[in-house]
Amino acid sequence: MDAEQFREHAHKMVDFIADYYKTIENFPVLSQVQPGYLHNMLPDSAPNHPESLDDIFNDVQAKILPGVTHWQSPNYFAYYPSNSSIAGFLGEMLSAGLNIVGFSWITSPAATELEMIVLDWLAKLLKLPDEFLSAGQGGGVIQGTASEAVLVVLLAARDKVLRRLGKNALEKIVVYASDQTHSAVQKACQIAGIHPENCRLLKTESSTNYALSPDILCEAIAHDVAIGLVPFFLCATVGTTSSTAVDPLLALGKIAKSNGMWFHVDAAYAGSACICPEYRQYIDGVEEADSFNMNAHKWFLTNFDCSALWVKDRTALVQSLSTNPEFLKNKASQANMVVDYKDWQIPLGRRFRSLKLWMVLRLYGIENLQCYIRNHIKLAEHFEGLVAQDPRFEVVTPRIFSLVCFRLLPPRNNEDNGNKLNNDLLEAINSTGKIFISHTVLSGKYILRFAVGAPLTEERHVTAAWKVLQDEASALLGRL
Protein backbone atom coordinates (compact mmCIF):
# COMPACT_ATOMS: atom_id res chain seq x y z
CA MET A 1 0.00 0.00 0.00
CA ASP A 2 1.48 3.27 -1.13
CA ALA A 3 0.61 5.90 1.49
CA GLU A 4 0.62 8.82 -0.97
CA GLN A 5 -1.59 7.01 -3.46
CA PHE A 6 -3.92 6.12 -0.61
CA ARG A 7 -4.06 9.76 0.50
CA GLU A 8 -4.94 10.92 -3.01
CA HIS A 9 -7.58 8.26 -3.62
CA ALA A 10 -9.08 8.45 -0.16
CA HIS A 11 -9.46 12.22 -0.43
CA LYS A 12 -11.34 11.70 -3.68
CA MET A 13 -13.53 9.11 -2.01
CA VAL A 14 -14.30 11.40 0.92
CA ASP A 15 -15.23 14.17 -1.54
CA PHE A 16 -17.43 11.74 -3.44
CA ILE A 17 -19.24 10.64 -0.27
CA ALA A 18 -19.59 14.22 1.02
CA ASP A 19 -21.14 15.24 -2.32
CA TYR A 20 -23.41 12.21 -2.19
CA TYR A 21 -24.81 13.34 1.16
CA LYS A 22 -25.16 16.90 -0.12
CA THR A 23 -27.24 15.79 -3.10
CA ILE A 24 -28.93 12.74 -1.58
CA GLU A 25 -32.39 14.26 -1.92
CA ASN A 26 -32.05 14.31 -5.72
CA PHE A 27 -32.21 10.51 -5.95
CA PRO A 28 -35.41 8.44 -5.89
CA VAL A 29 -35.37 7.08 -2.33
CA LEU A 30 -36.39 3.59 -3.41
CA SER A 31 -34.31 2.42 -6.34
CA GLN A 32 -36.52 2.25 -9.43
CA VAL A 33 -34.44 -0.29 -11.42
CA GLN A 34 -35.73 -3.66 -12.60
CA PRO A 35 -34.23 -7.03 -11.49
CA GLY A 36 -31.06 -7.87 -13.43
CA TYR A 37 -30.55 -4.25 -14.53
CA LEU A 38 -26.81 -4.32 -13.87
CA HIS A 39 -25.97 -7.42 -15.86
CA ASN A 40 -25.86 -5.74 -19.26
CA MET A 41 -24.12 -2.62 -17.98
CA LEU A 42 -20.94 -4.31 -16.73
CA PRO A 43 -18.41 -6.57 -18.49
CA ASP A 44 -18.58 -10.35 -18.10
CA SER A 45 -15.20 -10.64 -16.39
CA ALA A 46 -12.76 -8.67 -14.28
CA PRO A 47 -10.23 -6.42 -16.12
CA ASN A 48 -6.78 -7.79 -16.90
CA HIS A 49 -5.17 -4.41 -16.38
CA PRO A 50 -5.76 -1.73 -13.75
CA GLU A 51 -8.43 0.87 -14.42
CA SER A 52 -8.48 4.43 -13.14
CA LEU A 53 -10.39 5.54 -10.06
CA ASP A 54 -12.07 8.23 -12.15
CA ASP A 55 -13.47 5.59 -14.52
CA ILE A 56 -14.77 3.66 -11.56
CA PHE A 57 -16.38 6.78 -10.07
CA ASN A 58 -18.10 7.36 -13.43
CA ASP A 59 -19.51 3.84 -13.28
CA VAL A 60 -20.64 4.34 -9.71
CA GLN A 61 -22.55 7.46 -10.78
CA ALA A 62 -24.05 5.99 -13.92
CA LYS A 63 -24.56 2.34 -13.03
CA ILE A 64 -24.42 1.73 -9.29
CA LEU A 65 -26.24 4.68 -7.75
CA PRO A 66 -29.42 4.06 -9.82
CA GLY A 67 -29.56 0.64 -8.17
CA VAL A 68 -29.13 2.02 -4.65
CA THR A 69 -32.01 2.54 -2.23
CA HIS A 70 -30.99 5.57 -0.24
CA TRP A 71 -31.28 4.50 3.38
CA GLN A 72 -29.64 7.73 4.53
CA SER A 73 -32.07 9.97 2.61
CA PRO A 74 -34.10 12.27 4.86
CA ASN A 75 -37.13 10.93 2.96
CA TYR A 76 -36.46 7.33 3.99
CA PHE A 77 -39.20 6.09 6.35
CA ALA A 78 -39.23 2.33 5.65
CA TYR A 79 -38.54 -0.71 7.89
CA TYR A 80 -36.38 0.67 10.69
CA PRO A 81 -33.60 3.20 10.19
CA SER A 82 -29.98 2.23 9.69
CA ASN A 83 -28.04 5.25 10.84
CA SER A 84 -24.80 6.57 9.51
CA SER A 85 -22.98 9.50 11.02
CA ILE A 86 -19.68 11.29 10.67
CA ALA A 87 -18.47 9.62 13.89
CA GLY A 88 -19.63 6.21 12.72
CA PHE A 89 -18.04 6.74 9.35
CA LEU A 90 -14.72 7.81 10.88
CA GLY A 91 -14.72 4.77 13.15
CA GLU A 92 -15.48 2.54 10.18
CA MET A 93 -12.64 4.18 8.28
CA LEU A 94 -10.17 3.67 11.10
CA SER A 95 -11.29 0.08 11.48
CA ALA A 96 -10.77 -0.47 7.73
CA GLY A 97 -7.41 1.31 7.97
CA LEU A 98 -6.07 -0.84 10.78
CA ASN A 99 -7.79 -3.91 9.29
CA ILE A 100 -7.02 -6.21 12.18
CA VAL A 101 -8.68 -9.57 12.72
CA GLY A 102 -9.32 -9.57 16.44
CA PHE A 103 -10.49 -13.09 17.23
CA SER A 104 -8.30 -13.53 20.32
CA TRP A 105 -7.03 -10.90 22.75
CA ILE A 106 -3.47 -11.39 21.50
CA THR A 107 -4.40 -10.61 17.89
CA SER A 108 -4.97 -6.98 18.95
CA PRO A 109 -5.43 -6.42 22.67
CA ALA A 110 -6.94 -2.97 22.06
CA ALA A 111 -9.77 -4.43 19.98
CA THR A 112 -10.93 -6.76 22.75
CA GLU A 113 -10.38 -4.33 25.58
CA LEU A 114 -12.02 -1.36 23.85
CA GLU A 115 -15.05 -3.52 23.02
CA MET A 116 -15.40 -4.53 26.67
CA ILE A 117 -15.07 -0.94 27.86
CA VAL A 118 -17.42 0.58 25.29
CA LEU A 119 -20.09 -2.04 25.91
CA ASP A 120 -19.78 -1.38 29.64
CA TRP A 121 -20.32 2.34 28.88
CA LEU A 122 -23.40 1.56 26.83
CA ALA A 123 -24.73 -0.88 29.44
CA LYS A 124 -24.41 1.85 32.08
CA LEU A 125 -26.13 4.33 29.79
CA LEU A 126 -29.03 1.89 29.42
CA LYS A 127 -28.95 1.22 33.17
CA LEU A 128 -28.63 -2.50 32.57
CA PRO A 129 -28.10 -4.56 35.72
CA ASP A 130 -24.49 -4.81 36.92
CA GLU A 131 -24.40 -8.53 36.08
CA PHE A 132 -24.18 -7.53 32.41
CA LEU A 133 -20.93 -5.63 33.00
CA SER A 134 -17.57 -7.16 32.19
CA ALA A 135 -16.29 -6.88 35.76
CA GLY A 136 -18.37 -9.89 36.85
CA GLN A 137 -19.40 -13.13 35.20
CA GLY A 138 -21.09 -11.42 32.26
CA GLY A 139 -20.21 -8.79 29.68
CA GLY A 140 -20.97 -7.34 26.30
CA VAL A 141 -19.92 -8.32 22.80
CA ILE A 142 -20.51 -6.77 19.39
CA GLN A 143 -22.24 -9.13 16.98
CA GLY A 144 -22.90 -8.35 13.33
CA THR A 145 -26.68 -8.43 13.67
CA ALA A 146 -29.52 -9.12 16.08
CA SER A 147 -30.00 -12.42 14.24
CA GLU A 148 -26.50 -13.55 15.22
CA ALA A 149 -27.09 -12.30 18.76
CA VAL A 150 -30.19 -14.41 19.27
CA LEU A 151 -28.55 -17.39 17.61
CA VAL A 152 -25.53 -17.42 19.92
CA VAL A 153 -27.62 -17.11 23.08
CA LEU A 154 -30.03 -19.77 21.84
CA LEU A 155 -27.07 -22.11 21.31
CA ALA A 156 -25.78 -21.33 24.80
CA ALA A 157 -29.21 -21.96 26.32
CA ARG A 158 -29.71 -25.16 24.30
CA ASP A 159 -26.40 -26.62 25.38
CA LYS A 160 -27.00 -25.62 28.98
CA VAL A 161 -30.28 -27.53 29.10
CA LEU A 162 -28.87 -30.49 27.16
CA ARG A 163 -25.95 -30.77 29.59
CA ARG A 164 -28.60 -31.32 32.26
CA LEU A 165 -30.95 -33.60 30.30
CA GLY A 166 -28.58 -35.36 27.92
CA LYS A 167 -28.18 -34.88 24.17
CA ASN A 168 -31.16 -37.08 23.33
CA ALA A 169 -33.49 -34.51 24.84
CA LEU A 170 -33.10 -32.20 21.83
CA GLU A 171 -36.51 -33.21 20.53
CA LYS A 172 -38.13 -32.21 23.83
CA ILE A 173 -36.87 -28.69 24.35
CA VAL A 174 -39.18 -25.79 23.54
CA VAL A 175 -38.69 -22.14 22.56
CA TYR A 176 -41.31 -19.45 23.23
CA ALA A 177 -41.82 -16.05 21.67
CA SER A 178 -44.76 -14.05 20.38
CA ASP A 179 -46.09 -14.11 16.85
CA GLN A 180 -44.69 -10.55 16.57
CA THR A 181 -41.13 -11.70 17.29
CA HIS A 182 -38.65 -11.11 14.49
CA SER A 183 -38.18 -14.10 12.18
CA ALA A 184 -34.54 -14.13 13.34
CA VAL A 185 -35.69 -16.29 16.27
CA GLN A 186 -37.25 -18.83 13.95
CA LYS A 187 -34.09 -18.87 11.86
CA ALA A 188 -31.98 -19.35 14.99
CA CYS A 189 -34.19 -22.33 15.94
CA GLN A 190 -33.69 -23.83 12.48
CA ILE A 191 -29.92 -23.48 12.76
CA ALA A 192 -29.82 -24.74 16.35
CA GLY A 193 -31.72 -27.90 15.44
CA ILE A 194 -34.74 -27.07 17.59
CA HIS A 195 -37.58 -29.20 16.30
CA PRO A 196 -39.86 -26.94 14.25
CA GLU A 197 -42.94 -28.12 16.16
CA ASN A 198 -41.22 -26.97 19.39
CA CYS A 199 -40.95 -23.34 18.38
CA ARG A 200 -44.01 -21.63 19.89
CA LEU A 201 -44.95 -18.27 18.42
CA LEU A 202 -47.74 -17.31 20.80
CA LYS A 203 -50.67 -15.32 19.51
CA THR A 204 -50.92 -11.64 20.32
CA GLU A 205 -53.90 -9.33 19.89
CA SER A 206 -54.77 -5.71 19.38
CA SER A 207 -56.21 -5.60 22.94
CA THR A 208 -52.65 -5.89 24.32
CA ASN A 209 -51.19 -3.79 21.50
CA TYR A 210 -49.58 -6.97 20.19
CA ALA A 211 -47.52 -7.58 23.33
CA LEU A 212 -47.06 -11.14 24.58
CA SER A 213 -49.49 -11.97 27.36
CA PRO A 214 -47.94 -13.60 30.46
CA ASP A 215 -51.13 -15.67 30.91
CA ILE A 216 -50.87 -17.09 27.40
CA LEU A 217 -47.21 -17.91 28.02
CA CYS A 218 -48.06 -19.66 31.31
CA GLU A 219 -50.77 -21.71 29.63
CA ALA A 220 -48.43 -22.79 26.82
CA ILE A 221 -45.68 -23.75 29.27
CA ALA A 222 -48.10 -25.71 31.48
CA HIS A 223 -49.43 -27.57 28.46
CA ASP A 224 -45.95 -28.46 27.23
CA VAL A 225 -44.73 -29.58 30.65
CA ALA A 226 -47.81 -31.77 31.02
CA ILE A 227 -46.93 -33.66 27.84
CA GLY A 228 -43.31 -34.15 28.84
CA LEU A 229 -41.67 -31.31 26.94
CA VAL A 230 -39.03 -29.01 28.45
CA PRO A 231 -39.40 -25.22 28.11
CA PHE A 232 -35.89 -23.74 27.86
CA PHE A 233 -35.87 -20.40 26.03
CA LEU A 234 -38.05 -17.31 25.97
CA CYS A 235 -37.47 -14.34 23.68
CA ALA A 236 -39.27 -11.11 24.52
CA THR A 237 -39.17 -8.03 22.31
CA VAL A 238 -39.06 -4.36 23.21
CA GLY A 239 -40.17 -2.62 20.03
CA THR A 240 -41.41 -5.33 17.68
CA THR A 241 -40.63 -5.02 14.00
CA SER A 242 -44.23 -4.63 12.84
CA SER A 243 -45.55 -2.12 15.35
CA THR A 244 -43.05 -1.46 18.21
CA ALA A 245 -45.03 -3.62 20.67
CA VAL A 246 -43.35 -3.90 24.05
CA ASP A 247 -43.55 -7.24 25.82
CA PRO A 248 -43.92 -7.02 29.63
CA LEU A 249 -40.39 -7.99 30.61
CA LEU A 250 -40.84 -8.24 34.36
CA ALA A 251 -43.80 -10.63 34.29
CA LEU A 252 -42.38 -12.70 31.43
CA GLY A 253 -38.95 -12.83 33.04
CA LYS A 254 -40.36 -14.14 36.29
CA ILE A 255 -42.19 -16.91 34.43
CA ALA A 256 -39.01 -17.81 32.57
CA LYS A 257 -37.02 -17.88 35.79
CA SER A 258 -39.51 -20.04 37.67
CA ASN A 259 -39.34 -22.54 34.82
CA GLY A 260 -35.56 -22.55 34.60
CA MET A 261 -35.56 -20.98 31.12
CA TRP A 262 -33.08 -18.64 29.43
CA PHE A 263 -34.69 -15.21 28.98
CA HIS A 264 -33.49 -13.15 26.01
CA VAL A 265 -34.63 -9.59 25.32
CA ASP A 266 -34.54 -8.32 21.75
CA ALA A 267 -34.54 -4.51 21.74
CA ALA A 268 -32.88 -4.27 18.34
CA TYR A 269 -34.60 -1.03 17.38
CA ALA A 270 -36.11 0.46 20.54
CA GLY A 271 -33.13 -0.20 22.81
CA SER A 272 -31.55 3.06 21.61
CA ALA A 273 -34.50 5.09 22.95
CA CYS A 274 -33.89 3.65 26.42
CA ILE A 275 -30.82 5.87 26.86
CA CYS A 276 -33.36 8.63 27.60
CA PRO A 277 -34.62 8.46 31.20
CA GLU A 278 -38.23 8.93 30.06
CA TYR A 279 -38.05 5.82 27.79
CA ARG A 280 -35.98 3.61 30.11
CA GLN A 281 -39.23 2.28 31.62
CA TYR A 282 -39.74 0.16 28.49
CA ILE A 283 -36.92 -2.13 29.53
CA ASP A 284 -37.94 -2.28 33.18
CA GLY A 285 -37.69 -5.94 34.05
CA VAL A 286 -34.46 -6.43 32.08
CA GLU A 287 -33.06 -7.39 35.49
CA GLU A 288 -34.71 -10.78 34.91
CA ALA A 289 -33.03 -11.29 31.53
CA ASP A 290 -30.10 -13.59 30.81
CA SER A 291 -29.24 -11.67 27.67
CA PHE A 292 -30.12 -8.32 26.10
CA ASN A 293 -29.54 -7.04 22.59
CA MET A 294 -29.81 -3.70 20.81
CA ASN A 295 -28.63 -2.71 17.36
CA ALA A 296 -26.42 0.37 17.55
CA HIS A 297 -26.51 0.27 13.75
CA LYS A 298 -30.24 0.96 13.70
CA TRP A 299 -30.93 4.13 15.65
CA PHE A 300 -27.67 4.99 17.41
CA LEU A 301 -25.65 6.71 14.70
CA THR A 302 -23.28 3.77 14.34
CA ASN A 303 -22.75 2.68 10.75
CA PHE A 304 -23.82 -0.87 9.94
CA ASP A 305 -22.87 -3.33 11.39
CA CYS A 306 -22.83 -3.10 15.17
CA SER A 307 -25.24 -5.17 17.25
CA ALA A 308 -24.58 -4.99 20.99
CA LEU A 309 -25.28 -8.13 23.01
CA TRP A 310 -24.90 -8.51 26.76
CA VAL A 311 -25.02 -11.74 28.75
CA LYS A 312 -24.99 -12.35 32.48
CA ASP A 313 -23.12 -15.64 32.21
CA ARG A 314 -20.38 -15.52 29.61
CA THR A 315 -19.31 -19.05 30.49
CA ALA A 316 -22.53 -20.35 28.92
CA LEU A 317 -21.59 -18.73 25.61
CA VAL A 318 -18.01 -19.92 25.76
CA GLN A 319 -19.03 -23.48 26.59
CA SER A 320 -21.09 -23.59 23.41
CA LEU A 321 -18.87 -21.68 21.02
CA SER A 322 -15.26 -22.16 22.03
CA THR A 323 -12.67 -24.23 20.23
CA ASN A 324 -9.02 -24.33 21.12
CA PRO A 325 -6.90 -25.54 18.20
CA GLU A 326 -3.13 -25.66 18.57
CA PHE A 327 -2.54 -22.87 16.06
CA LEU A 328 -4.51 -20.39 18.19
CA LYS A 329 -2.93 -21.26 21.53
CA ASN A 330 -1.13 -18.44 23.34
CA LYS A 331 -0.03 -17.64 26.87
CA ALA A 332 -2.75 -15.10 27.73
CA SER A 333 -5.57 -17.33 26.51
CA GLN A 334 -4.21 -20.48 28.11
CA ALA A 335 -3.82 -18.71 31.44
CA ASN A 336 -7.45 -17.57 31.26
CA MET A 337 -6.31 -13.99 31.77
CA VAL A 338 -8.26 -12.51 28.86
CA VAL A 339 -11.51 -12.51 26.93
CA ASP A 340 -11.22 -14.14 23.50
CA TYR A 341 -14.27 -12.93 21.62
CA LYS A 342 -13.94 -15.74 19.06
CA ASP A 343 -15.64 -17.85 21.75
CA TRP A 344 -18.67 -15.52 21.95
CA GLN A 345 -19.65 -15.63 18.27
CA ILE A 346 -20.08 -17.85 15.20
CA PRO A 347 -17.10 -16.85 13.01
CA LEU A 348 -13.50 -16.84 14.09
CA GLY A 349 -12.48 -13.55 12.50
CA ARG A 350 -13.91 -10.28 13.73
CA ARG A 351 -13.57 -6.61 12.88
CA PHE A 352 -12.58 -3.75 15.19
CA ARG A 353 -16.19 -2.53 15.37
CA SER A 354 -15.99 -0.97 18.81
CA LEU A 355 -14.07 1.95 17.26
CA LYS A 356 -17.33 3.09 15.64
CA LEU A 357 -19.31 3.01 18.85
CA TRP A 358 -16.48 4.65 20.77
CA MET A 359 -16.33 7.46 18.22
CA VAL A 360 -20.11 7.94 18.37
CA LEU A 361 -20.17 8.10 22.16
CA ARG A 362 -17.19 10.43 22.36
CA LEU A 363 -17.81 12.75 19.42
CA TYR A 364 -21.52 13.27 20.25
CA GLY A 365 -21.78 12.69 24.00
CA ILE A 366 -24.78 11.35 25.88
CA GLU A 367 -26.81 14.57 25.88
CA ASN A 368 -26.67 14.95 22.10
CA LEU A 369 -27.53 11.31 21.58
CA GLN A 370 -30.58 11.71 23.82
CA CYS A 371 -31.64 14.84 21.87
CA TYR A 372 -31.23 12.92 18.64
CA ILE A 373 -33.63 10.18 19.78
CA ARG A 374 -36.12 12.67 21.23
CA ASN A 375 -36.16 14.67 18.02
CA HIS A 376 -37.09 11.62 15.93
CA ILE A 377 -39.83 10.69 18.37
CA LYS A 378 -41.13 14.26 18.19
CA LEU A 379 -41.17 14.08 14.39
CA ALA A 380 -43.11 10.81 14.52
CA GLU A 381 -45.56 12.46 16.90
CA HIS A 382 -45.93 15.27 14.36
CA PHE A 383 -46.69 12.74 11.62
CA GLU A 384 -49.16 10.91 13.86
CA GLY A 385 -50.97 14.25 14.44
CA LEU A 386 -51.21 14.86 10.70
CA VAL A 387 -52.69 11.40 10.09
CA ALA A 388 -55.19 11.86 12.92
CA GLN A 389 -56.46 15.11 11.37
CA ASP A 390 -57.43 13.44 8.09
CA PRO A 391 -60.65 11.42 8.50
CA ARG A 392 -59.78 9.24 5.50
CA PHE A 393 -56.97 7.64 7.52
CA GLU A 394 -56.61 5.95 10.88
CA VAL A 395 -53.68 5.44 13.24
CA VAL A 396 -53.80 1.70 13.90
CA THR A 397 -51.69 1.14 17.03
CA PRO A 398 -50.67 3.64 19.69
CA ARG A 399 -47.30 5.15 18.80
CA ILE A 400 -44.60 4.58 21.40
CA PHE A 401 -41.29 5.42 19.73
CA SER A 402 -40.66 6.80 16.23
CA LEU A 403 -42.86 4.44 14.20
CA VAL A 404 -46.41 5.31 13.16
CA CYS A 405 -48.66 2.45 11.98
CA PHE A 406 -51.60 3.75 9.98
CA ARG A 407 -53.82 2.98 7.02
CA LEU A 408 -56.21 4.50 4.56
CA LEU A 409 -59.77 3.59 5.58
CA PRO A 410 -61.67 1.76 2.84
CA PRO A 411 -64.57 3.87 1.51
CA ARG A 412 -67.99 2.90 2.84
CA ASN A 413 -66.27 0.72 5.47
CA ASN A 414 -65.91 -1.99 2.86
CA GLU A 415 -63.11 -3.98 4.50
CA ASP A 416 -62.97 -6.37 1.54
CA ASN A 417 -61.09 -3.66 -0.33
CA GLY A 418 -59.05 -2.33 2.59
CA ASN A 419 -55.95 -4.43 2.11
CA LYS A 420 -55.73 -3.95 -1.65
CA LEU A 421 -56.34 -0.24 -1.27
CA ASN A 422 -53.44 0.17 1.15
CA ASN A 423 -51.18 -2.06 -0.90
CA ASP A 424 -51.99 0.06 -3.97
CA LEU A 425 -51.28 3.20 -1.98
CA LEU A 426 -47.90 1.84 -0.84
CA GLU A 427 -46.94 0.94 -4.42
CA ALA A 428 -48.04 4.33 -5.71
CA ILE A 429 -46.14 6.23 -3.03
CA ASN A 430 -42.92 4.29 -3.37
CA SER A 431 -42.93 4.47 -7.15
CA THR A 432 -42.90 8.28 -6.95
CA GLY A 433 -39.37 7.96 -5.56
CA LYS A 434 -40.15 10.92 -3.30
CA ILE A 435 -40.38 8.90 -0.11
CA PHE A 436 -40.02 5.26 0.87
CA ILE A 437 -42.29 3.59 3.44
CA SER A 438 -42.96 -0.08 4.18
CA HIS A 439 -45.88 -2.18 5.40
CA THR A 440 -46.94 -4.97 7.72
CA VAL A 441 -50.06 -6.99 8.46
CA LEU A 442 -51.73 -6.82 11.88
CA SER A 443 -54.86 -8.84 12.70
CA GLY A 444 -55.28 -9.53 8.99
CA LYS A 445 -55.16 -5.84 8.06
CA TYR A 446 -52.57 -4.40 5.69
CA ILE A 447 -50.90 -1.53 7.55
CA LEU A 448 -48.55 1.21 6.39
CA ARG A 449 -45.46 1.88 8.52
CA PHE A 450 -43.83 5.31 8.74
CA ALA A 451 -40.57 5.02 10.68
CA VAL A 452 -38.72 8.25 11.41
CA GLY A 453 -35.02 7.74 12.07
CA ALA A 454 -32.80 8.84 9.21
CA PRO A 455 -30.20 11.26 10.58
CA LEU A 456 -31.00 14.02 8.05
CA THR A 457 -34.79 14.00 8.50
CA GLU A 458 -36.31 17.31 9.59
CA GLU A 459 -39.89 18.40 10.20
CA ARG A 460 -40.19 19.73 6.64
CA HIS A 461 -39.46 16.25 5.27
CA VAL A 462 -42.16 14.69 7.43
CA THR A 463 -44.69 17.34 6.41
CA ALA A 464 -43.81 16.91 2.73
CA ALA A 465 -44.04 13.12 3.06
CA TRP A 466 -47.54 13.46 4.46
CA LYS A 467 -48.48 15.64 1.46
CA VAL A 468 -47.22 12.90 -0.91
CA LEU A 469 -49.32 10.37 1.00
CA GLN A 470 -52.42 12.57 0.90
CA ASP A 471 -52.05 13.34 -2.81
CA GLU A 472 -51.59 9.69 -3.75
CA ALA A 473 -54.55 8.72 -1.54
CA SER A 474 -56.74 11.35 -3.25
CA ALA A 475 -55.73 10.08 -6.69
CA LEU A 476 -56.42 6.48 -5.68
CA LEU A 477 -59.77 7.24 -4.06
CA GLY A 478 -60.74 9.37 -7.07
CA ARG A 479 -60.25 6.37 -9.35
CA LEU A 480 -62.52 4.06 -7.29
Instruction: Tell me how far, at minimum, the Cβ of 285 lies from ligand PLP, in Å.
Output: 17
Residue 80 is a binding residue for ligand PLP (CB under 6 A)? yes
Query: Which is closer to ligand PLP, CB of 108 or CB of 208?
Result: 208
Residue 154 is a binding residue for ligand PLP (CB under 6 A)? no
Instruction: Tell me how far, at minimum, the Cβ of 283 lies from ligand PLP, in Å.
Output: 13
Query: Which is closer to ligand PLP, CB of 157 or CB of 161?
Result: 157
Query: Which is closer to ligand PLP, CB of 79 or CB of 383?
Result: 79
Residue 307 is a binding residue for ligand PLP (CB under 6 A)? yes
Q: What is the 3-state secondary structure (H, E, C) of the chain?
A: CCHHHHHHHHHHHHHHHHHHHHCHHHCCCCCCCCCCCCHHHCCCCCCCCCCCHHHHHHHHHHHHHHHCCCCCCCCECCCCCCCCCHHHHHHHHHHHHHCCCCCCHHHCHHHHHHHHHHHHHHHHHCCCCHHHCCCCCCEEEEECCHHHHHHHHHHHHHHHHHHHHCHHHHHHEEEEEECCCCHHHHHHHHHHCCCHHHEEEECCCHHHCCCCCHHHHHHHHHHHHHCCCEEEEEEEEECCCCCCCECCHHHHHHHHHHCCCEEEEECCCHHHHHHCCCCHHHHCCHHHCCEEEEEHHHHCCCCCCCEEEEECCHHHHHHHHCCCCHHHCCHHHHCCCCCCHHHHCCCCCCCCCHHHHHHHHHHHHHHHHHHHHHHHHHHHHHHHHHHHHCCCEEECCCCCCCEEEEEECCHHHCHHHHHHHHHHHHHHHHHHCCCECEEEEECCEEEEEEECCCCCCCHHHHHHHHHHHHHHHHHHHHHC
Give how many residues touch ligand PLP by CB under 6 A. Answer: 15
Residue 145 is a binding residue for ligand PLP (CB under 6 A)? yes
Residue 303 is a binding residue for ligand PLP (CB under 6 A)? no
Of the residues 126, 192, 268, 380, which one makes contact with ligand PLP according to CB under 6 A = 268
Instruction: Tell me how far, at minimum, the Cβ of 205 lies from ligand PLP, in Å.
Output: 19
| Window 122-141: residues binding ligand PLP (CB under 6 A) | none
Where does this chain touch ligand PLP (CB under 6 A) — which range of 45-53, 143-151, 217-225, 461-469? 143-151
Where does this chain touch ligand PLP (CB under 6 A) — which range of 1-9, 233-241, 283-291, 442-450? 233-241
Residue 182 is a binding residue for ligand PLP (CB under 6 A)? yes
Instruction: Tell me how far, at minimum, the Cβ of 245 lies from ligand PLP, in Å.
Output: 10
| Window 321-380: residues binding ligand PLP (CB under 6 A) | none
Instruction: Tell me how far, at minimum, the Cβ of 239 lies from ligand PLP, in Å.
Output: 6
Instruction: Tell me how far, at minimum, the Cβ of 307 lies from ligand PLP, in Å.
Output: 5
Query: Which is closer to ligand PLP, CB of 297 or CB of 434?
Result: 297
Residues that bind ligand PLP (CB under 6 A): 80, 145-147, 182, 184, 237, 239-241, 266, 268-269, 295, 307
